[in-house]
Structure 1
Amino acid sequence: MSMWWSLHLRREAASVPLARRLLLGTMESAGVDPDISYDLSLALSEACANAVEHGGDVAHGGSSEAFRVTAYLDGEMCRIEVADSGPGFPAGRPWPLARLVPADAEHGRGLCLIRELADHVHIGHTPGRRGAVVSFDKVLKWRKDAPLLAV
């Protein structure tokens, strides 16, 4: 089984639960194990929240009104990608997940949380464009009654 969907969402807080609910509905319909679905939806929420907060292109005379979420289910793997047109991550600095965030901090733990929830995480940019791309993969587990069980 292979399927994908892509959303073009406004950079506003209400977009985060919308993307999360769509992913959870897709996973439920496909028959993905609820624990895996929950991990992926939480990681997606963190990536979307980062795009909403940091995804504007203010430094270049404007602000991006949107960001993109794409989810791919392919056999036993799910890949999710969140792309924005913000300033991206500074070149030459260590990967953002390398920095330590105090336990009582209210911000700054999203990328670390994504790393803990996913099997593989890539943070970069789209070649030829500004912005950040956060993509992460997770091996899927299926319910026994999964209608779209990968065979």
Structure 2
Amino acid sequence: MSIWWSLHLRREAASVPLARRLLLGAMETAGVDPDVSFDLSLALSEACANAVEHGGTGGPGATSPGYRVTAFLDGERCRIEVTDSGPGFPARQKRRAAPQNVLAHPTAQTPACAESGRGLGLIAELSDHADFRNRPGRGAMVRFDKVLKWREDALLRAS
């Protein structure tokens, strides 16, 4: 058995805890280990907060453009994807032989006193695999996944 869901959320701060609570509820009901659930929910909160803050204007007349959250819980793994319609991630400064569309490495050291800039690094640390991409003309995509651990009474435990 697997669970799949997708949300289209308004680019408002209140959408972040909504997405987090939905993920936590699905994982608790399925029987995912609470530590794994916490890591994934924190990573999701960071990805959603990034989409809310940087997700774009949505064009003329748009009051609150949205972003999309998609989650897959399937046996051994959970994969989460957050996409927005903003300008995308900044390209790395031109360096010798580096492609222009390469994104700055998200785990680069950010000063502890900085008010922002640690979210992508945190997502990378909390997940087993993280992917940060620009979707030319369509915004940014943050995708991350983690191997699941199950409680003894899990409903979806991998067979």
TM-score (norm 1): 0.91
2:152 aligned with 1:144: yes
Q: How does 1:52-71 map to 2 (within 5 A)?
A: 52-57=52-57, 65-71=65-71
Equivalent position of 2:49 in the other structure: 49
> Which amino acid letter does the alignment assign opposite residue 35 of structure 1?
D
**Alignment counterpart, residue 135 of structure 1, candidates 121, 140, 143:** 143
Residue by residue over 1:6-40, the C-alpha shift from the partner in whole angstroms, topping out at 9 and shown as x without a partner, is 00000000000000000000000000000000000
Percent of aligned positions that are identical:
70
1:113-133 Cα distance to aligned partner (Å, 9 max, x none): 00110000001134x642000
Conservation of the 8 A alpha-carbon contact between 2:107 and 2:120: no
For residue 118 of structure 2, what is the amino acid of its counterpart?
A: R
Deviation at 1:72, TM superposition (A): 0.5
| Structure whose residues are more often helix by fraction | 1
Which of these two proteins has the greater Rg computed from alpha carbons? 2
- Structure 1 moving runs of 4+ over 6 Å: none
Is 1:78–1:139's contact at 8 Å kept on the other side of the alignment? yes
1:107 alignment partner in structure 2: 116
How many residues matched?
149
TM-score by length of 2: 0.87
Amino acid of the structure 2 residue aligned with 1:43: A
The 8 Å contact of residues 120 and 136 in structure 1, kept in 2 or not, is answered as: yes
Query: Which consecutive unaligned segments of at least 5 residues does structure 2 have?
Result: 92-99
The corresponding residue for 1:35 is 35
**Contact 2:69–2:81 (8 Å) recurs in 1:** yes
Please report the RMSD computed on the Cα atoms of aligned residues, expressed in angstroms. 1.7
